[in-house]
Amino acid sequence: MPTCKRTQRRDNRFFEALEAGFGVGESAHRAGYSRRSTYDYRDQDEDFARRWEEAIESHVEALEIEADRRASVGVEEPVFYKGKECGRVRKYSDNLLMFRLKALAPEKYRERRELTGKDGGPIETAVSFTCMVLEAIDGQTRSK
């Protein structure tokens, strides 16, 4: 696609598309820019880069709100019997709930924890300490 002249109106279209969740290529196309030119604008123009980041953050925030809604309020789905809708059931997403909890309180909900000993070294366990003592005793008795 030939690069069109950069204008405020085209910039706005690009950022609106990014905020709506379109990728960079599609957002550039909707604004009349080439994908490459938008990256050039971002690298050369601090205001363009800031607006780009804000558009992405806004879209991520909207996705977070939707994930929270689906996890806590649920989504109504139709129930069918013999090919006809006979009711509705509300389904919740435990997976979304766990993802959000891990994102919002990682220290509490993360899957793994790395434990370290003194000054970031390995943890000394009672077993390894006992082994060290026994090795030291064994070494002393052999030297006698």
* Model confidence pLDDT, tens digit, residues 58-117: 999 999 999 999 989 999 999 999 999 999 999 998 988 898 888 888 888 877 666 777
Determine the longest span between alpha carbons in the chain, in angstroms. 91
DSSP H helices in 73-120: 94-104, 106-109
Specify the pTM.
Answer: 0.64
Cβ atoms of 85 and 78 within 8 Å: the answer is yes
